[in-house]
């Protein structure tokens, strides 16, 4: 009997839902919150300038860039201090702003092919999530179909580092009560570097979810991730068939 897939690991942002509109709304609403609760910031900075200031900080701290929530909080603190708030006040503002931001960050709208397929897949496979963002599946309806979710910011390294995938396999094994190896797992994501190359280097079956479907293999050969995936799909409607075509280890 041919070995089968025991774990499907999903990326979240831009794989299960479009991220840009979610982040843009969260940024706008947090800026409005600051207008009421930290007005010196909005008097000094436009919404666009608050983003530029935080991005400048990120460029100064590359080694911690995968700690996305921590970096955002620090960015809010710097904005507040720049505008004359004390260190203690800046810390309070940053903490409250982050709570407000995260409330909107979780208000995602899944792609049309997601919920029906996730609910069906959960009947046959263990589902896990491995994200480099700070989406919280426990606050999102489809989270009920997942056995676990790991965020790169809570790990020593984020994707594409091999240790991120190893952490997911360890979590899945603990949930299953038996070891699940890399050769028994598939990872699905939209990013050629963090999802495709990362998963393949860790020994998982790498499935690229290319929703645009416009990139050809010649163009892929010139990208960092190249066309080095095990399967390429344009919709989760195609995932089950793709899994059936792949070889998994014992």
pLDDT of residue 149: 98
pLDDT of residue 226: 52
196 in any annotated domain? yes
φ and ψ of 129, to 5 deg:
-125, 140
Cα separation, 181 vs 94, whole angstroms:
41
215, 198: one domain: yes
Cα separation, 86 vs 88, whole angstroms:
5
2 in any annotated domain? no
pLDDT of residue 43: 96
pLDDT of residue 221: 55
13, 30: one domain: no
pLDDT of residue 74: 92
- What SS3 string covers the chain? CCCCCCEEEECCECCCECCHHHHHHHHHHHHHHHHHHCHHHHHHCCHHHHHHHHHHHHHHCHHHCCCHHHHHHHHHHHHHHHCCCCHHHHHHHHHHHHHHHHHHHCCCCCCCCHHHHHHHHCCCCEEEEEECCCCCHHHCHHHHHCCEEEEHHHCCCCCCCHHHHHHHHHHHHHHHCCCCCHHHEEEEECCHHHHHHHHHHCCCEEEEECCCCCCCHHHHCCCCCCCCCCEEECCHHHHHHHHHHCCCCC
CATH number at residue 78: 1.20.120.1600
134, 77: one domain: no
Counting the structural domains of the chain, the total is: 2
CATH number at residue 145: 3.40.50.1000
pLDDT of residue 157: 94
212, 117: one domain: yes
pLDDT of residue 223: 56
250 in any annotated domain? no
CA dihedral defined by 178, 126, 155, 138, rounded to 10 degrees? -130
Q: Which of 86, 105, 124 is the last residue of a domain?
A: 105
96, 196: one domain: no
Cα–chain-centroid distance for residue 159? 9
Cα separation, 233 vs 239, whole angstroms:
7
pLDDT of residue 225: 47
1 in any annotated domain? no
pLDDT of residue 216: 61
Cα distances from 73 to residues 56, 69, 118, 134, in angstroms, run: 14, 6, 33, 13
Quick check: 100 and 33 in contact, CB under 8 A?
A: yes
69, 165: one domain: no
Quick check: 210 and 232 in contact, CB under 8 A?
A: yes
Task: Convert the pLDDT of each residue in 10-38 to its tens digit.
Answer: 999 999 999 999 999 999 999 999 999 99
125, 204: one domain: yes
The residue range of the domain holding 219 is 7-17+110-245
How confident is the prediction along the chain (250 residues), in pLDDT tens digits per residue? 457 899 999 999 999 999 999 999 999 999 999 999 999 999 999 999 999 988 888 788 766 778 999 999 999 999 999 999 999 999 999 999 999 999 999 999 999 999 999 999 999 999 999 999 999 999 999 999 999 999 999 999 999 999 999 999 999 999 999 999 999 999 999 999 999 999 999 999 999 999 987 666 655 555 554 558 999 999 999 999 999 999 998 8
pTM of the model: 0.91
């Amino acid at each position: 009997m041919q070995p089968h897939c025991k774990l499907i690991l999903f990326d979240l942002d831009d794989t299960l839902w479009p991220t840009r509109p979610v982040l843009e709304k969260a940024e706008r609403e947090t800026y409005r919150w600051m207008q009421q609760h930290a007005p010196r910031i909005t008097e000094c900075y436009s919404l666009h300038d608050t983003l530029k200031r935080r991005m400048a900080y990120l460029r100064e701290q590359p080694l911690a860039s995968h700690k996305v929530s921590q970096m955002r909080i620090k960015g809010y603190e710097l904005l507040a201090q720049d505008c004359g708030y004390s260190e203690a006040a800046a810390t309070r503002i940053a903490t409250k702003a982050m709570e407000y931001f995260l409330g909107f960050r979780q208000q995602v709208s899944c792609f049309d092919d997601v919920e029906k397929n996730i609910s069906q897949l959960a009947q046959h496979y263990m589902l896990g999530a491995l994200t480099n963002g700070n989406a919280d599946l426990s606050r999102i309806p489809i989270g009920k179909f997942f056995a676990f979710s790991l965020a790169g910011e809570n790990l020593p390294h984020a994707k594409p580092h091999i240790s991120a995938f190893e952490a997911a396999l360890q979590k899945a094994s603990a949930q299953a009560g038996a070891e699940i190896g890399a050769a028994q797992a598939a990872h699905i994501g939209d990013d050629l570097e963090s999802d495709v190359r990362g998963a393949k280097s860790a020994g998982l079956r790498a499935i690229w979810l290319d929703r645009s479907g416009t990139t050809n293999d010649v163009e892929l050969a010139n990208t960092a991730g190249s066309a080095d995936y095990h399967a390429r799909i344009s919709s989760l409607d195609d995932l089950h068939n793709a899994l059936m075509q792949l070889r998994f280890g014992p």
